[in-house]
C-alpha cells in the first residue's frame, strides 16, 4: 500500500469490501416478479432510507422526501394508474415491440412488502443558487442519486426494488397529496424476494442488450478517438470478470 494511503488507514477499502461494493452494483436488479409475501423490517428500511439520505446533493440541498406507502387500497389505486398509463404507452410503441411489451411484467406494486415514493422539493434550495444557477435540474439529479443509494443498499440487504416509471405524474401527485412544488422522482416497489435474476429481465426477454462499453468511451471530445489502453482493460474485465464484477450482470 502506498505511504499516502497508509496515512489514511480506516478510510480506505480492503479488497473484500471493494468486491462487495462491485457485487452490489453488478447484481442489482429491477425486481418485478420475485417478491414474496413477507414484511420488511422497519430496522432494515431505516438503513436503506439512511443510505439514500447520505447521497450527494448539489449545494448540499438534500431535496428529497420519502413517502412510505403500505395501505393495500392506496397501492391498488396506484396500480390502476399504472394500468392506464401502460395502455397509453403501448399505443405509442412500434408494432414490432407491442407483442413483447404486452408480455413484460413491469411492476410489483401490490405484491411487494411496501411502496416508496422518493420526491424532490424544488423549493428546498430557494435563495441558494450554488450549483444550480446554470443547471436548475441539479436538484432532480441529486434526488436520483438518493434513489441509487437506496437501491444499492437494498441489494446489499437482499431486498428487492422495482422502479415503476409508467405512471401519470399529475394523477400520482393527487393520489399521494404531493404539493405542487414537489416532483415525484421515483415510485419504488420494495420487499423481500425469492431470487435475484442473473441478468436484467429486459435483456433475458429480448427487449434490449447491454451496449458495448468501449463504444461509449471517447477521448477529449465527443467523437474523439483514443483511450485504447482503457478500452482494452474494459474488454479484459468483460471476458474474465473479477469477484462480483462481471460485465454480463
Query: Tens of pLDDT along 133-190?
Result: 889 999 999 999 999 999 999 999 999 999 999 999 999 999 999 999 999 999 999 9
Q: Which residues pair with 44 in a beta bridge?
A: none
Range with lowest mean pLDDT among 17-26, 50-59, 65-74, 124-133: 124-133
Say if residue 244's pLDDT is above 60. no
pLDDT above 70 covers a percentage of the chain that reads 93
- Highest mean pLDDT: which of 4-18, 152-166, 226-240? 152-166
More confident residue, 192 or 34: 192
- Residue ranges and CATH numbers for the domains of the chain are 30-208 (3.40.109.10), 211-243 (no CATH)
The answer on pLDDT for 122 being more than 80 is yes
The pLDDT of residue 1 is 42
Region 53-60: what's the mean pLDDT? Answer: 96
Q: Which of 181, 117, 145, 167 is nearest to 54 (CA)?
A: 145
Q: State how far the Cα of 108 lies from the Cα of 187, in Å rounded to an integer.
A: 11
When the pLDDT of each residue in the chain is averaged and rounded to a whole number, the result is: 90
Distance CA 82, CA 126 (A): 33
Alpha carbon distance 162, 109 (integer Å): 9
User: Tell me, what's the pLDDT at 147?
Assistant: 98
Task: Give the range among 44-48, 145-149, 236-240 with minimum mean pLDDT.
Answer: 236-240
Q: Is the pLDDT of residue 2 over 60?
A: no
- Distance, CA of 107 to CA of 81 (rounded, Å): 12
Give the relative orientation of helices 95-103 and 72-91 as an angle to the nearest 10 degrees.
Answer: 160
Residues 6 or more apart in contact with residue 205 via CB below 8 angstroms: 100, 103, 104
Confidence of residue 207 (pLDDT cuts 50, 70, 90): confident
pLDDT digits (tens, 9 = 90+) for 124-140: 988 777 888 889 999 99
Q: Residue 90 above 70 pLDDT? A: yes
What's the rounded Cα separation, in Å, for the pair 56 and 61?
9
Taking the C-alpha atoms of residue 219 and residue 227, their distance in angstroms, rounded to an integer, is 6
Tell me, what DSSP letter sits at residue 193? B
What's the confidence (pLDDT) of residue 6? Answer: 53
pLDDT of residue 241: 67
pLDDT band at 42 (very low <50, low <70, confident <90, very high): very high
Q: Looking at the DSSP assignment, which residues form a beta bridge with residue 114?
A: 190
Highest mean pLDDT among 126-135, 198-207, 215-224: 215-224
Among 178-182, 185-189, 214-218, 235-239, where is mean pLDDT lowest? 235-239
Q: What is the pLDDT of residue 98?
A: 80
Amino acid at each position: 500500500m502506498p505511504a499516502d494511503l497508509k496515512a489514511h488507514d480506516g478510510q480506505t477499502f480492503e479488497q473484500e469490501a471493494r468486491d462487495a461494493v462491485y457485487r452490489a452494483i453488478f447484481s442489482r436488479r429491477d425486481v418485478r416478479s420475485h417478491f414474496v409475501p413477507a414484511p420488511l423490517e422497519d430496522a432494515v428500511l431505516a438503513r436503506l432510507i439512511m443510505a439514500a439520505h447520505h447521497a450527494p446533493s448539489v449545494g448540499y440541498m438534500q431535496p428529497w422526501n420519502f413517502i412510505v406507502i403500505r395501505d393495500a387500497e392506496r397501492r391498488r389505486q396506484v396500480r390502476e394508474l399504472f394500468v392506464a398509463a401502460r395502455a397509453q404507452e403501448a399505443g405509442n410503441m412500434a408494432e414490432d415491440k407491442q407483442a413483447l411489451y404486452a408480455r413484460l411484467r413491469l411492476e410489483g406494486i401490490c405484491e411487494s412488502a411496501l411502496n416508496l415514493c422518493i420526491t424532490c422539493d424544488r423549493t428546498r434550495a430557494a435563495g441558494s443558487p450554488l450549483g444550480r444557477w446554470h443547471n436548475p435540474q441539479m436538484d432532480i439529479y441529486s434526488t436520483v442519486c438518493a434513489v441509487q443509494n437506496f437501491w444499492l443498499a437494498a441489494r446489499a440487504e437482499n431486498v428487492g426494488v422495482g422502479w415503476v416509471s409508467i405512471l401519470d405524474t399529475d394523477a400520482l401527485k393527487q393520489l399521494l397529496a404531493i404539493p405542487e412544488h414537489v416532483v415525484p422522482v421515483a415510485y419504488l416497489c420494495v420487499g423481500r424476494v425469492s431470487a435475484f435474476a442473473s441478468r436484467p429481465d429486459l435483456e433475458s426477454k429480448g427487449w434490449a442488450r447491454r451496449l458495448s462499453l468501449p463504444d461509449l468511451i471517447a477521448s477529449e471530445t465527443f467523437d474523439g478517438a483514443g483511450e485504447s489502453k482503457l478500452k482494452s482493460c474494459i474488454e479484459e474485465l468483460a471476458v474474465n470478470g473479477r469477484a462480483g464484477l462481471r460485465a454480463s450482470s
